[in-house]
Structures are given as structure tokens and as C-alpha cells.
Amino acid sequence: MSDPITTYVIGHISIKDAEKWDRYRSQVPATLAPWQAELVFRGEKLAVLGGEHRHSDTVVIRFPDAESANGWFNSAAYQALIPLRMAAAEVDLISFSAPGG
């Protein structure tokens, strides 16, 4: 049996309403805990060194495997936050596999 493949969810974010974004961000950690997820990085864009990138902020969340990442995203707890997220920011949310963690 092979080891689970670590999965990262990366969000590229353009904030539309800072107050709503703060409310959304404060509620996300509780939705991650049941899935053994870890916030790896959250930051603001410093410079685009090549190509184009329209968003101002990025977040990286590590999950033990793809099933956990999908379970989190599809959970009732996270789905309940999506309307607030959509009102607060434009977010491109992408999952990536990382064999070997």
C-alpha cells in the first residue's frame, strides 16, 4: 500500500471587502481542524517576477491527502462560508498533489 500523497490547497485572492474578508478568515480554521489541515503560508504579493498574476494575496494549506482536501472543501462547515467568501473576495482555489510531501 502506498503512502498518502500530501495535498496543498492554494488560494489566490483579491479582496473586495476587508471587513467581510476578516470575518471569513476568522471562521476558516475551525473548518480545517477536522481534516488535519495546516495553514502553511498567508501573504501579500510583493512583485510579479515573470508572467502575470492578478491577485494580491495568497494562502497555502496542507492536507494529509487529496481525500482530506476534498472532504474539507465539500464539508457543510466550509460550504456554509462560501457565500461570505464570495462577497468578500475573488478567490481562485486550486489543489495540488505533492508526492513525498
Over the chain, what is the mean pLDDT? Answer: 94
What is the assigned CATH class of domain 6-47+54-98?
alpha beta
pLDDT in tens, 6-20: 999 999 999 999 999
Mean pLDDT over 15-40 rounds to 97
Please indicate whether residue 1 or residue 42 has the higher confidence score (pLDDT): 42
Is residue 76 helix, strand or coil?
A: helix
User: Are the C-beta atoms of 39 and 29 separated by less than 8 Å?
Assistant: yes
